[in-house]
Amino acid sequence: MRDIDKLIAAMRQEFGTDQRRVEHALSVLGYAERILDRESGNPDVVQAGAVLHDIGIQEAERKHGSSGPTYQELEGPPIARRILEDCGVLSAQDTDHVCRIVGSHHSARDIDTP
């Protein structure tokens, strides 16, 4: 993704001082990039999904008092969509795809693509 730095900056801003979660997202991005070397998949979607997969965790904790998977999957997609649209790094179709990934990154429901 040519604008991955813009997306990472937005993720960092969303997480604020929560460095542990920033580092986790960057670690997942690293693994995703290594997997892309061997597997097919849309690199823009894979990288954005990796960076934003846990983006709803703080909102889940605020709203539900829990970072449980169900709450992350509920709260993450609207935040991911806002970030992606604000950054303007993906097409509408790819944005929808990333939001589906964020909304099912624990349960793997609704995902049938590489």
Q: What does the pLDDT look like over 32-61, one tens digit per residue?
A: 999 999 998 999 999 999 999 999 999 999
How far apart CA 42 and CA 94 sit, in angstroms, is 9
In a domain, 112, yes or no: no
Question: What mean pLDDT is reported for the chain?
Answer: 94
In a domain, 75, yes or no: yes
How far apart CA 24 and CA 79 sit, in angstroms, is 18
Could you give phi then psi for residue 39, rounded to 5 degrees? -120, 160
1, pLDDT greater than 70: no
Q: Specify the pTM.
A: 0.93
In a domain, 114, yes or no: no
Q: What is the pLDDT, as a whole number, of residue 110?
A: 73
Give how far Cα 92 sits from Cα of 37, 52, 60, 84, 99, Å.
25, 16, 25, 9, 11
In a domain, 107, yes or no: no
What total of structural domains would you count in the chain? 1
